[in-house]
Structure 1
Amino acid sequence: MPRRERPLDEGESGLLRFAADLRRLRERAGRPTYRELSRRAHYSAAALSEAAGGRKLPSLAVTRAYVQACDGDQEEWTRRWRAVADSEPHPAGGSPYAGLAMFQPDDAPKFFGRERLTAELLGTRKRFTGVFGPSGVGKSSLLRAGLIARTGDPVLLFTPGADPLEECAVALARLTGGDVGEIAADLADPKALRRHHAHLVVVDQFEELFTLCRSEELRTWLVTALLSCTKVVIAVRADYQAHCARYPELVGALDQVHVGPMTPDELRLAITGPAAAVGAKVETALLARLMADAVGQAAVLPLLSHALAETWQHRRGTTLTVAGYEQVGGLDHAVARTAQEVYDGLTGRQQEQAKRILLRLVTAESTKRRARGDELEADEEVLVALAAARLVVIGRDGVELAHEALIRSWPTLRDWVEEERENIRAQRELTHAVRTWESLDRDPGALFRGRRLTSVPPGLALNAAERAFLAASRAAEEELSATTRRRTRRQRQLLAALVVLLVVAASSTVFALRAGRTADEQRTNAVVLRAVGEAAALRSTNPALAQQVALAAHRLVPLPQARNGLRQEDVPSQVVREAPAEVTALVVGPTQQLVVTGHRDGAVVLAALDDLPSPRTFHEATRHTGAVTALAMDSTGTLVASVGDDGAVHVVDVSLGRPRELAALPAKATAIAWRGGTLVTTGDDGTLSFWTDLDRPRLVTTVQLGLGPLAALAFRADGRVLAAVTTGRAVHLADAADLRDVELLALTREFAGGAQFAGDSLLTTAGTAVHLWDVGDPRGPVLRAEIPSGGAQVTSARLGADRVAVATDDGLVRLWRLERGEPVEQALLRGHAGPVAAVGLTPQGDEVVTGGADRAVRLWEADPRDPAVRICEQAFPRMTREEWERYFGELPFRPPCPG
């Protein structure tokens, strides 16, 4: 007979009441034996018995298993478990984890995982260093607990704030004991900063110079003052990196260090190191759980540290356990509690702003999404508060939630999403429509019409672009109605005039015919533009019908907007290679089907493209100690040069289809290019070095352009014109016919991140567009076309004879055909699971090669046939008369694909 359970005094504590209620739950379930409960719950009978024993709080997992075995409500018991866990006394002792707060210099003994970056900052000989990364990645902690804590000399640390001069003076007074007023008066001369402090100056949150400081005079003061100092390190949020380009002298002096997510080894050390430093340890199961939650996510580190700090208060002896982690709710519960505290600390108006921001960052399916800054139109103070609490991540390409756990675990946000689900769905559709409209240069054909316009919910929180879009849609709809009314009135007036003016019947008839023809043309144009917009919106739900609508619109009136709607979206691709590391650079041979790829792990790999679908072999051509940053192939397709984060330049002979590495260049470089058979390199000082005889590299000459460090180089095929891209993203054209006298000729009007020649055309990439320039006269480059990216950031682009391939960070590649100089979108390539880092075109230009962050190298073959042939071949089912009338109204039924 089983032993009776120990009686409980339910008044002793919440823990005992919890245990007593577990026993009552078992009684209501028919009082099964613990052996029977063990069979149902898959936990030992002893563990389940101990859960109802009242001596200690069981783990959340055991509690949920006990309740499930007794047919109880697991969610209700989860809430009760957390309430008891929060009420239980915590062991004493300071936590070795910093939680959500940034590390300070005194925290250096518990700062782990960033040893490589700390050593890089301590070892750099550069006078001016910029540390870039998204919010939440740990830039401030790196500077304080990493750099400053290990610097022997006094360090001046401050943030710009609204008045950089005053902030600097206060920090100097704190460091030296001087008078703030006297120091501030002396610092009116920016070069006085070096006289006051001749050691390291660290400026954290440098983006405050653009967000809080409103005085251009003070901004210029800070830049000038820092440029005069002996050694400077600044930390800049990644999305404000482009703002630094306003000051070319700052960009020219800046050496960049990028802070990204920790590697698995670094993350493991960041978890176990602080505990080990105080003689504690992390349970193996907990370490595995934490690694699974955090690997690869930059902004999750503070949240993880916060969860660990809470787990420390529930440790078992000197061990952090999974049970303790679950007791504080794990990462999810820590996130929810932090989020509620931040939200409760805002004013009523700020809470409304926070709600608007957060709902912009979720989908109707309760997943997170990235939103561009101009889409949010957020109050900077609220956004900074959310970012400071590590609830959102502000990156170069937009804002997103730090973790989807926020949606799942924060009841307030979960309720908002549930209440606003239909509005969120409508908002996402509206946002997509606005981006399409803007990518088509606000083409009226992309506006909402008819039912789509009237179905927009009235309560949506709109930004300026969305308000403009809806206003334009309503105006266009009203204009269409007014045009119809005017046309009807005009026809009636014409009929009356015909009755009265019988004596001039012939001339009146001609006039009527012409007026009718003009009205018909206007009506048809309006209908076609509306159909083009409808087809664009229909692509995601019914691509076959969308293509037929676009084709019918183009046949009715061959407008450019209609022509762009015929692009191919089902382009087949083959995976050429699944690499062990993400692709960072790519080049396709000019005379043979050959592709060379560079990777994050430093490998440069050679592969042939002409042996599909047979099994292929790959050859590692060379390897860098850092990520490959650029590849360049000479015009004959026999030599490939590569440069990596390590600055080394390797040259490989690929003429026989197998790589043969030549001697490494005795130089460090940041960018490379070929000028005929001569390899040109440039380093941190911006000097161009020309190398020949690459079996035994010989330096022919050097050229100083006087532009500072260069980010990229490109030579026209004849070698007479050079395009030099500065780190400030300006593109300079230079006459390079005579290397003894290189002359700067022109400066393009748009900033760019890269450049490439094809004949007399120059392609430059910048932001969300690609620019094509006619440089037949390099002294006066003419902007021939601007090719949009669809709203995402351009990561790579390639110009062929009559094709342009544009890759973006949303995982898409757009292929454009140049028809009489005008770009027409030919195909949209989908298939990469992440940003596409590099793109190339095969020699004939009919195939595209891509490589991305998902480590795949893909070969795409777009259909070169007339779009009508391709569309009608795939158009099933065919367009019906009812569908025609839906999109083209009363126009005569002319199905684009008969049969």
Structure 2
Amino acid sequence: MPRGERPLDAAGGPLAEFAGGLRELRQKAGNPTYRVLAQRAHYSIATLSAAAAGRHLPTRSVALAYVRACAGDEEQWARTWHETATRLAAAEPRPPSASNASDESGGSGESGEDTARPPYAGLASFQPADADCFFGRERFVSDLADRLRHGRLLALFGASGSGKSSILRAGLLPLLADAVVFTPGWHPLEECAIQLSARARDTPGRLLAELSADPVNLHRAVRQFLADRPENDAELVLVIDQFEEVFTLCTDPAERTAFIAALVRAAQAPNSRCRVVIAVRADFYAHCTRHPDLVEALHDAQIPVGPMTTAELRRAIVQPALRAGLTVEGALLAHLTAEAKGQPGVLPLLSHALLETWHRRRGNALTLAGFQAAGSIEGALAQTAEALYTQLNRHQQQLARQIFLRLTALGEGTEDTKRRLTRAELDETDDTALILERAARARLLTLDDNRVEIAHEALIRCWPRLTSWLTEDRDRLRTHRRLTEATDIWESFNHDPGALYRGVRLATARELPRTDLTRRERDFLDASTAAEVTEATLVRRRLQRVRQLAALLVLLLLAAGAAFEYAVHVQHAVTRQRNVILAQRVADQAAALHQDNPSLAAQLSLAAYRLAPDDITRDGLLSATATPLGGNTSGLSTVALGADGHTLVTSEFDGTVRLWDITHPHHPAVLSTFTAHAAGSAVIALSPDGTTLASGSSDSTVRIWDIGDPRHPVPYGPTLRGHTQAVFSVAFSPDGKTVASGSYDHTVRLWDVTDPHHPAHLATLTGHTLNVKPVAFSPDGRTLASGSDDRTVRLWNIADPRHPTPLATLTGHKDFVDTLAFSPDGRTLASGSDDRTVRLWNIADPRHPALAGILTGYADVVADVAFSRDGRTLATGSYDRTVRVWNVADLRHPTQLAMLTGDTSATQSVAFTTDGTRVISGSADHTAQIWETTVAAATARACALTRRTITRAEWRHYLPGTGYPAPALPLAGEPPTEVLRWRLGPAARNSRPGPESGNETPQGTRA
């Protein structure tokens, strides 16, 4: 019996309240054991139990993991955690100041203010006076000084917040005998003249006039300034910080060019006594290349400033504290280095967080609790963001909202993340440039060359204003994001009209506020609207011409029977052409409605097919009648169908395996769910009799499961170990006694599972030079095929599985091989690849395989292939979100039977039902789909999906110019071919029911 938790101290204060809340949350969740909570939260039992013990405040991540495991409100508990941390910090005594260290009361003077000098600079850059507190860049500064001794002009390039200013001011300047440091500002020549004149005790007006007249005068002025000093002992170093202001603030191109020329000539003159160091933000590198003399000077003078290493970060954190007589708690140091490592713009944020932690120090120690009470890096970042926003005017605030929303990628079942965009996505206005510049200075954004991104994703989580923007209308944000992507595609296709919006997509996009759109997005919508109007006008004109032609033909009928016959032929041709155009447009509109209104989408797709039965409308009908299997918690990696044809097994990327009853394919039911591998990403295979399941995982292991009772699956025997990297695929031999596994360790392993309670390793197959991905047994069990990232397929003789031998190597794929499948007769092998093709191999003689055919037309990776039981049909799934069905009876001339669309993310796996009439697919969008492959079955399914007959108004909107159908719904036992008979001209003439009272006059045959 588990031991109960220690009672909490009633007077324990904030800690006891917080721990009591966690315990109450656990009790409401059904009081799961800590072992169960550990499996859900991915933290140890000791860590989670300590979180609710009330002895100390757990970290934010541990607390939220505990809440998540108990199905609590994470947002509410995040606020509770911060409130508790703040209360604990307020309850701690303030540390004594440096001048009152002996104050026994623990205060900091009569005023209560902390008068000790902070050891950290906060968001501001380090200055020369802070040199004694500047650590971590010693090696970089030493190398910089050495480079300066051998070169007369150096340029530091780095992202905003990488520490360039601090390196120059607190690192390099104290090492220089004579230096002038300044920022260019609005008038760089004037600023240069002012700084040099102050050193020379001269008036800046005269020097400014000389610099404006001839840039060489800067070189002369420096020589004059040093004229009274020995020639070889004295030089002046000009340090220009934030050199990008030459491009952002200086609006006079002539002054900009003159200033750059003056610096270059002062450094490169034969008798120069001047050295120049500039610090430039990395995103302004292209601006520098527009000045040829500067480009030549920078040829061997560029010094990149990157993120600090772990050792440098430790020195930057610990050494200032040590000099101030403080210590840094080990947990705080580990947390800070882990969070800041590799972040290009995090140094000012780190310094600011440390400064706030110093204000909350405990005695002479900087603690993790104080850091968390200060809001950590996230809290400081949120305060900075709010300060920036409040300083903008109303129009700029609206523009800032649009920019930050564009910089956020909406999560689908995950947290929102930052999104990098190019400046071309934003309107080039003065306000846009100002916001980007201020945000970069405030360390909120990182500007790199032509790209913009949020400096830290903590801004998305912790800036309340941005959070409220993101939660106002996420559907509208998704619509806007899709519009942006469509605009990019349209521009990449040189404004091709075929890439424009139409129908429902256009109507939805037009509902977005115009003020939220950029110029290019407005141009895209305007072009889409114009194209729709043009197409509608064209359809109306065609209808008008057809009517005029019909009237003329009636007159000609009186003159000659031949003319009448010709007129009827023309009429039918035009009607067919009109029907094809209209039907294909309706099919597109039905696809767009499938997710939100399946009933209307099914009726429209059926109407489109009956109006013009061709490949496009057929695929639309098949796609609109798919049955989704939802409820999955992650993307699907594998789908497999049991031997009974009723049990479906799906595996997910998070390691979850689900067993479904699909006896009634359109009413699937979950039989059981279990976690095959806690480490995540499970791949599965079923034994031929369907009672045993093998699973492989990224944890490098294979497990065998008893699913004879699909409602209570249990594991067999020990876990199979031997692979050293992730297992990508598993497969059963036809007799069910052997399992093959392919792994990223470049090998295939064979396992004896004759007794699944005592599985044993048989052999290891080597030969592939890169990751082994798919493995597949031939139907006779004597041949094994394996595919690899080395772009080959290998065939192995495994008649004796303990002594496998290679048979042949199949080459031809131009990228990774991702999937393999044998035909039921064992004479054909299908292989799918990252090169966007499926290759069909004749392996009647496995020692001499030959390429028989290639399937093309995919827009992305082919992830899975599967044969039907008669071997005449092949199904494929691709990352281009399609399932394609092929007739492969003639391998040299395969034909596509259907292309099924509807998956909203990459299609990962496909399988045929036992009768071959349906295809099952699994997708990264967390769903499996059951697809009909015949028009008759899809028609019946469309009738079953009909919940409300399409109205006259809807019919006129989607199918103008055609007769409204009789509002018939399928009746019990009624054949599908006799329901929903719409009067749509020649396509339905032979099966059209007679007119009903109150219906409109049929117009399809008259159009």
Q: Place the TM-score, normalised by the shorter chain, in its bin.
A: 0.5 to 0.7
**2:419 corresponds to which of 348, 355, 369:** 369
Give, in whole Å, the separation in 2 of the partners of 1:215 and 1:394.
Answer: 23
In the alignment, what sits opposite 1:346?
A: 392
- Contact conserved, 1:285 with 1:322, CA < 8 A, in 2? yes
User: Which position in structure 2 is the counterpart of 1:639?
Assistant: none
Aligned 1:492-891 pairs, distance under 5 A: 492-501=547-556, 611=769, 828=860, 877=931
Alpha-carbon distance between aligned partners in 2 of 1:91 and 1:410, rounded to the nearest angstrom: 28
8 Å CA contact retained: 2:19, 2:52: no
Q: Distance in 1 between matches of 2:892 and 2:186?
A: 57
Q: CA deviation at 1:94?
A: 1.5
Contact 1:447-1:533 within 8 A present in 2 as well:
no
Aligned CA distance change for structure 1 residues 512 and 202 (closer, same or farther; 3 Å): farther
| Aligned-partner Cα distance in 1 for 2:61–2:523 | 56
Instruction: Name the counterpart of 1:278.
Output: 324
Q: Does 1:42 align with 2:42?
A: no
Q: 2:256 aligns to what? A: 219
Deviation of 1:43 (Å): 7.2
* Larger Rg, first or second structure (1 or 2): 2
Retained in 1: the 8 A contact 2:556–2:563? no
- 1:228 maps to 2:265: yes
What letter matches 2:360 in structure 1? H
* 8 Å Cα contact 1:90-1:313 kept in structure 2: no
Cα distance in 1, alignment partners of residues 86 and 544 from structure 2: 73
TM-score by length of 1: 0.54
Report what 1:117 is aligned to: 140
Q: Distance in 2 between matches of 1:192 and 1:406?
A: 48
> How much has 1:311 moved relative to structure 2?
0.8
Q: Is the 8 A contact 1:133 1:236 kept in 2?
A: yes
The SS at the match of 1:399 is strand
Residue aligning to 1:191: 216
SS in structure 2 at match of 1:132:
strand
**Residue pair 1:59, 1:326 contacting (<8 A) in 2 also:** no
Q: Report the secondary structure of 2:182's partner residue.
A: strand
SS in structure 1 at match of 2:118: coil
Structure 2 equivalent of residue 387 of structure 1: 440
Moved more, 302-311 or 490-499: 490-499
Deviations 1:464-502 (A, max 9, x none): 121111111111211211111111011112222333456
Following the alignment from structure 1 to structure 2, what is the Cα–Cα distance between the partners of residues 185 and 335? 44
CA distance in 1, matches of 2:834, 2:295: 31
On the 8 A contact 2:123/2:349 being kept in 1, the answer is yes
The answer to which of 445-454 and 415-424 deviates more is 415-424
* Distance across 1 between alignment mates of 2:154 and 2:934: 64
Aligned to 1:172: 196
1:478 aligns with 2:529: no
**How far apart, CA to CA, are the structure 1 residues paired with 2:181 and 2:568?**
83
Name the SS for the 1:241 alignment partner: helix
TM-score (structure 2 length as normaliser)? 0.49
Alpha carbons of structure 1 residues 318 and 532: separation in structure 2 relative to 1, 3 Å: same
Match of 1:128 in 2: 153
Whole-angstrom distance in 2 between the partners of 1:556 and 1:77 = 56
- The 1:507–1:246 alpha-carbon spacing in structure 2 relative to 1, beyond 3 Å, is farther
CA contact (8 A) 2:14 2:88 kept: no
Match runs of 1:429-448 below 5 Å: 429-448=482-501
User: Structure 2 matches for 1:316-465, cutoff 5 A?
Assistant: 316-365=362-411, 366-377=416-427, 379-456=432-509, 457-459=511-513, 461-465=516-520
Name 1:145's counterpart in structure 2: 170
Q: Taking structure 1 as reference, are residues 479 and 408 closer, same or farther at Cα in structure 2, changes over 3 Å only?
A: same
Q: Which residue of 2 aligns with 1:291?
A: 337
Q: How far apart, in 1, do the equivalents of 2:899 and 2:186 lie?
A: 58
| CA shift for structure 1 position 338 | 2.3
**Contact 2:134–2:171 (CA<8 Å) still a contact in 1?**
yes
Structure 1 CA distance for aligned equivalents of residues 399 and 248 of structure 2 = 18
Kindly indicate whether structure 1 or structure 2 has the higher relative contact order, using CA contacts under 8 Å at least 6 residues apart. 1
The letter for the 1-side match of 2:86 is: R
Within 2, Cα distance between the matches of 1:242 and 1:406?
28
Shift of 1:332: 2.0
Q: Is the 8 A contact 1:353 1:379 kept in 2?
A: yes
Q: Quick one: distance in 2 between partners of 1:93 and 1:243? A: 44
- 2:663 maps to what in 1? none
Task: Give the Å deviation of 1:205.
Answer: 2.5
Give distance in 2, aligned partners of 1:202 and 1:534. Answer: 65
Amino acid at match of 2:282: A
Distance 2:613 2:210 in 1: 70
| Aligned counterpart, 2:288 | 244
* Cα pair 2:238 2:276 within 8 Å, conserved: yes
Q: What is the identity percentage for the equivalent residue pairs of Structure 1 and Structure 2?
A: 38
Residue 238 of structure 2: which of 197, 201, 210 is its match? 201
Q: What is the letter of the counterpart of residue 540 of structure 2?
A: R
Distance 1:235 1:61, change over 3 A: closer
2:86 is the counterpart of 1:82:
yes
Letter in 2 for 1:367: T
Query: How far did residue 878 of structure 1 move?
Result: 5.8
SS at match of 1:235: strand
Given that 2:9 and 2:16 are in contact with CA atoms closer than 8 Å, whether structure 1 keeps it comes out as: no
Question: Cα deviations across residues 160-200 of structure 1 (Å, max 9, x unaligned)?
Answer: x3332223223333443332222211111111122223633
CA distance in 2, matches of 1:609, 1:536: 47
Q: Which amino acid aligns with 2:293?
A: E
Alignment-derived partner of residue 121 in structure 2: 98
- Alpha-carbon distance between aligned partners in 2 of 1:19 and 1:610, rounded to the nearest angstrom: 60
The 8 Å contact of residues 130 and 233 in structure 1, kept in 2 or not, is answered as yes
Deviation at 1:25, TM superposition (A): 8.9
**How far apart, CA to CA, are the structure 1 residues paired with 2:309 and 2:347?**
12
Amino acid at match of 2:421: A
CA distance in 2, matches of 1:612, 1:802: 14
Measured after TM superposition, the shift of residue 242 of structure 1 is 2.0
Match of 1:672 in 2: none
Cα pair 1:494 1:512 within 8 Å, conserved: no
Q: Quote the Cα distance in structure 2 between the aligned partners of 1:865 and 1:149.
A: 78
Deviation at 1:330, TM superposition (A): 1.8
- Report the Cα distance in structure 1 between the residues aligned to 2:503 and 2:575, rounded to whole angstroms: 21
What is aligned with 2:993? Answer: none
Q: How many corresponding residue pairs? A: 578
CA contact (8 A) 1:448 1:533 kept: no
- Secondary structure (helix, strand or coil) at the match of 1:155 reads strand
For the structure 1 residues 508 and 232, does the alpha-carbon distance in structure 2 shift closer, same or farther, using more than 3 Å as the test? farther
- Give the aligned partner of residue 107 of structure 1: 130
The whole-number CA distance in structure 2 between the counterparts of 1:522 and 1:237 is 59
Does the residue aligned with 1:136 lie in a helix, a strand or coil?
Answer: coil
Letter in 2 for 1:276: L
Contact 2:14–2:84 (8 Å) recurs in 1: no
Distance change >3 Å, CA 553–CA 252, structure 1 → 2 = farther
CA contact (8 A) 1:308 1:325 kept: yes
Q: Is the deviation greater in 284-293 or in 319-328?
A: 319-328
Deviates more, 1:293-302 or 1:343-352: 343-352
SS in 2 for 1:201: strand
**Cα distance, 1:267–1:527 mapped onto 2, change above 3 Å:** farther
Tell me, in whole angstroms, the C-alpha distance in 1 between the residues paired with 2:985 and 2:221. Answer: 80
Q: Name the residue aligned to 1:810.
A: none
Distance 1:870 1:5 in 2: 68
SS of 1:240's equivalent in the other structure is helix
Match of 1:594 in 2: none
CA distance in 1, matches of 2:393, 2:504: 39
Contact 1:129 1:256 in 2 (8 A): yes
